[in-house]
Amino acid sequence: MTTTEAFAVPIGERYFEDYRPGAAYEFGHAAFTEAEIVEFARRFDPQSFHVDRETAQDGPFGGLIASGWHTASVLMRLFAGHYLSTVASLGGPGADELRWLKPVRPGTTVRLRVTVLDTQPSRSKPDRGLVRTLAELIDQDDDVVLRLTVLNFLRRKAFPEA
């Protein structure tokens, strides 16, 4: 079991080597308002339980909920703003195992928990490595509302010559 700790290196100085497998961190917070839920959903996911409070009452969730894509966007904002290096990030090949575990309702507040699952230096490009991270949004009741595994390429501080 890992413990949550403070990241030893500021976000503007983090490189591949600073992401240690097994390390877990919690960062930030964000709140979901009804207006933001409806605005996001009208643009990107216009299902009735995201855009109409009255209709949502009789829907499958018994009320208005945020789009899962809205929730994922909030996770990405916290991930980019607190965890992902601002000097070494090279993008990534994707995310795995995205799961929406609990509906997010107006008034919900969330924080980000990340756990470094593993790191792998690139064999073909020695200036970088791949970091695999479990990212979770946790609500004010300490329930995980969203979970996914994120893959990121990061520059290395020092790397062997090819």
pLDDT tens readout for residues 90-140: 999 999 999 999 999 999 999 999 999 999 999 999 999 999 999 999 999
Q: Is the dihedral of CA 138, 48, 106, 58 positive or negative?
A: negative
Q: How many beta carbons lie within 10 A of that of residue 135, not counting itself?
A: 21
Q: What are the C-alpha distances in Å from 135 to residues 24, 38, 97?
A: 10, 25, 11
Q: What is the pLDDT of residues 105-114, one digit of tens each?
A: 999 999 999 9
Which DSSP helix (H) or strand (E) runs through 119? strand 109-121
Q: What is the pLDDT of residues 57-77, one digit of tens each?
A: 999 999 999 999 999 999 999
Distance CA 81, CA 86 (A): 9
- Tell me, what DSSP letter sits at residue 89? B
Per cent of the chain over pLDDT 90 is 91
- What pTM does this model have? 0.93
| 38 Rama sector, left if φ>0, alpha if ψ -120 to 50, beta otherwise | alpha
Distance CA 153, CA 141 (A): 33
Partners of 144 in the β-ladder: 138
